[in-house]
Structure 1
Amino acid sequence: MLKRLLLISIVLLSGCSILTPLQKSRFITISNLIESAKYTEAKESIDALIEDEESAKWPRTWYMRGLLSQTAYHDGKSKNNNDWMNLYPDQIFFALESYEKALSLDKGGKIEKDIAPKYVLLANEYQALGDLHFKNRRYKDALKAFEAALKVISSPILAVELDLNLVQNAAIAAYEDRNWDRAIHHLRRLHNKNFGVNATHLLYEANLEKGDTLAAKQVIVEGMTRHNDHEDLVLLLTDLLFNEGDIDGALKNLDRVIARNPTNATFRYTKGLVYQRNEQYQEAINTYTQALSHSPDDPMIFLNLAICHYNTGVNIEEGTRTITNNSRVQEEKAKSKAAFDSATFWLDKIYNMGTTDRTVLSKAYELYKALRINDKADNLEDQLK
């Protein structure tokens, strides 16, 4: 009786995880067919095993289908044989599906050691496929391939760290495909790992594209903290707040970063732009003047100082139209002339410094024309031709 019980136990175990001689023989035959590049014959044998109710429960059956799919695809690609690459629909992805099925049936984990090295090769295959699709602007297909690679390397049977460069590839493919949910998913992973300012910037843009302004704002606030008040992120938040009509919020944010970065001219210049765009010209002039102490030869600061003084003069002149007292009119005209003279002072700095910035020169030309300083306007016009 003891022997009989032991025999029953062995039979039960073999049915679950140990291959019988017949099973081994069939798999050896399939393996030989694959090694001999007899892929069609191997497929017929594997398909027959899958159609059989009993052999469809064997992990090795699905492993063999994965091995066939992967090997035939790789071989077909290297030898330009489309038949080998298309034994199954989406064959390279079919390989992963087959391996996953094998792992799900393999309760004892005995097949993991066979699949692990195949996964490494499979991840490389997906990466190469994703690169090819991306190069050809097939972003949806690129995303599929990159995400498959990520799925493979994230498998518990591979003890490897997450490849953030691969996450970046998936993120950019999703972004280009305008698949905002997937782009946000991958970009968020990069953002949380402090992968770089560009990832935070794209995550901000993806949230805006999806219509989630609150999430976009939160991303930039987090990014400024993580990336030490990076200029790009500070400017993005300033622009967002300004466009929302939150002028005070934009100015307060700039005041905070200026306090932490007192020698940064860009932040002061940006604060001046906020005032200027809000038509607070004297506040803008004061702020631009502060920026000059840290960047004394910046033609853009000269230009915006000239614009602010010019607009101040225009506003003063327009205000005189409602004044009936002649002496008051003369006082206001004197103020407007002083503003125009100040505009000319800053324009002349641009004129004399010899900048080649066409944006600056073009705007300086317009201001000289508006101020009726035609000789310098004509000279700049010649430079712009």
Structure 2
Amino acid sequence: MYSFLCVVMMAGVLLAGCAVGDPNINEAESALEDGNYDAALESVERALEENPENAEAFLTRARIFEAQAEEAETPQERVQLYEQVAEARQQAAELSPDARSQVESQRQFSYIDLMQRGAERFNDAQEAQDPELFRETASFFTSARLIAPDSSDAYTNEAFALLNAGDREEVVPVLERAIETNQDTADVDLYSILSSLYLQFGQEEEALDLLDEAVQFYPQNQEVQELRLNAFTAAGEMDRALDAYREQVEQNPDNAIFRYNYGSLLLNDEQYEEAAEQLERAAELNPDDGSIFFNLGAAYVNQAADRDDQISAVETEVQEEGRELTDEEDARLEELAGERRELIEQAIGPFEQAFDMMDEGDENFGVVCRELYRAYVLVDRTDDAAAIESCFDELEGEQPDMGEPQGQ
């Protein structure tokens, strides 16, 4: 490569700082070939003292640092040396525009080599499951992104190596940069991992900002939607969450995920009738998701519980006043009892759908079984209750969490 530059110069195209015949550079090249890096660097420094704009000297300095980096004994040493490689090449490119193509070629070669070495070491680290090997792996990818700062792949691989090493705090800025360098096509996993880390570190606003961005690129991704709900909840932003999903439902009325999440949020906010409307539509759009049917059943059951509260309020008032029910109050109680039964019967269909879609190995199977059993009992469907009583008995003492949005 260097001989080509000199041939070009002799052809009449002068490169600023090209040191043809510079004895200092010749000495540096000779010392580099012998592996005498200190002597090589001393010769380069003499060349730069004589001509601070000697681009060839900076290129030679980069080669020396890279040779040292290839023999580095620690990850930290490797990264520091490649940082010096990148700096020296940048200085050469700035001093000599005609040297930029050479610098770019060297960058590409170094980048490919580091990425390949990092991939090989990653496989070794995975096999050994050794955190220190993962940290060493990360140093190759760190070095690669120092050489090519716009490479999203280098940042991404570095982040995964650090995650496997258990270095979560160090991962955050790396993932941020991975997304920044390739925002439009950044892998959805990057958004998921980074937002999860934000939530773990109590950075709810950062998580929400990131997930708002992710939703624009991946509106159908369930994990992103679930994380967004978790972020709203962690930040105590129920009103903001409701507004966000209301807007999304209005803009995407046939999106089952948005309908489900909005309905689940309404359920959690005790807006049961509105929740049922959204969940009914979600079930129509996605009839294969048992979580939708379970939350729909929960919306009806919670409405029935409201009727219970109203009945109790009337009965308590009458008892406290020591009197008999009026005809109007009696009629009202009968009406409320009828509505309660009707709502429980409405819950049974969705609960049955959810029950049929699950098996005993599913995480939520027990909760679904219990709620369906209770619904059967409350409307005197004793045969149906007896048919699933065995799974209910196994779960005696567990309490379901009917209204929690699950983002599925």
Distance change >3 Å, CA 383–CA 370, structure 1 → 2: closer
Mapped partners of 1:216, 1:274: distance in 2: 18
The equivalent of 2:389 in structure 1 is 378
| 8 Å CA contact retained: 2:19, 2:56 | no
> Which amino acid in structure 2 is aligned with residue 219 of structure 1?
L
Summarize the Cα distance change of 1:143–1:266 in structure 2 as closer, same or farther, 3 Å threshold: same
Q: Residue 122 of structure 1: which of 103, 107, 110 is its match?
A: 110
The letter of the residue matching 1:311 is N
Residue 311 in 1 paired to residue 297 in 2? no
**Aligned equivalent of 1:46, options 31, 40, 43:** 40
Residue 265 of structure 1: how far off its partner (Å): 2.2
Cα 1:315–1:23, aligned 2, differ >3 Å: closer, same or farther?
Answer: closer
Residue 146 of structure 1 corresponds to 141
The answer as to whether partners of 2:41 and 2:64 remain within 8 angstroms in 1 is no
* Aligned positions of 1:261-340 closer than 5 A: 261-296=252-287, 298-322=289-313, 323=315, 324=318, 326=325, 327=330, 328-340=332-344
Question: Which residue does 2:359 correspond to in 1?
Answer: 356
Q: 2:84 aligns with which of 76, 93, 97?
A: 97
Q: Determine the structure 2 residue equivalent to 1:67.
A: 63
1:255 aligns with 2:246: yes
Specify the code of the residue in structure 1 equivalent to 2:177.
H
Change (3 A) 1:211 1:364: closer
Gaps of 5+ in 2: 1-13, 319-323, 396-408
- Per the alignment, in what secondary structure is the counterpart of residue 285 of structure 1? helix
Q: Is the 8 A contact 2:199 2:231 kept in 1?
A: no
Shift of 1:47: 5.8
* Offset of residue 245 of structure 1: 4.2
For residues 286 and 149 of structure 1, what CA distance do their matches in structure 2 show?
53
Aligned-partner Cα distance in 2 for 1:289–1:283: 10
Contact 1:184 1:207 in 2 (8 A): no
State the partner residue of 2:351: 347
Taking the aligned partners of 2:357 and 2:111, their CA distance within structure 1 comes to 55
Q: 1:189 maps to which residue?
A: 181
Q: Against the structure 1 CA distance between its residues 355 and 233, is the aligned structure 2 distance closer, same or farther, given a 3 Å change threshold? A: closer
CA distance in 2, matches of 1:229, 1:206: 22
CA 1:234–1:92 in 2, change beyond 3 Å: closer, same or farther?
Answer: closer
Q: Structure 2 CA distance, aligned partners of 1:214 and 1:163?
A: 27
- Paired amino acid for 1:167: Y
User: In 1, distance between residues paired with 2:214 and 2:234?
Assistant: 20
Separation in structure 1 between the aligned mates of residue 169 and residue 145 of structure 2, nearest angstrom: 20
Gaps of 5+ in 1: 1-12, 75-83, 155-161
AA partner of residue 121 (structure 1): F
Cα distance 1:378–1:62, how it changes in 2: closer, same or farther (>3 A)?
same
Report Cα offsets for 1:117-147 as digits up to 9, x if no partner: 4433322343245442674445655444323
Q: Does the 8 Å CA contact 1:303/1:346 hold for their aligned counterparts? A: yes
User: By how many angstroms is 1:178 displaced?
Assistant: 1.7
- Write out per-residue CA displacement over residues 312-340 of structure 1, whole angstroms, 9 at most, x where no aligned residue: 33343344334135525444433333333
SS across alignment from 1:262: coil
Cα distance, 1:172 vs structure 2: 4.2
Q: What secondary structure does 1:293 align onto?
A: helix
Tell me how far 1:273 sits from its aligned partner.
Answer: 0.9
On the 8 A contact 1:309/1:339 being kept in 2, the answer is: yes
Aligned pair count reads 347
- Kept in 2: contact 1:268–1:290 (CA 8 A): yes
Listed one character per residue, the Cα deviations across residues 264-317 of structure 1 (whole Å, up to 9, x for unaligned) are 222222222112112222222222222233234543333223323333333433
Greater relative contact order (Cα < 8 A, sep 6+): 2
CA RMSD across the alignment: 4.3
Q: What are the equivalent positions in structure 2 for 1:183-262 lying under 5 Å apart?
A: 183-191=175-183, 193-209=184-200, 211-227=202-218, 231-262=222-253
Tell me the TM-score normalized by structure 2.
0.66
Instruction: Check 1:298–1:205 CA distance in 2 against 1; reply closer, same or farther (3 A cut).
Output: closer
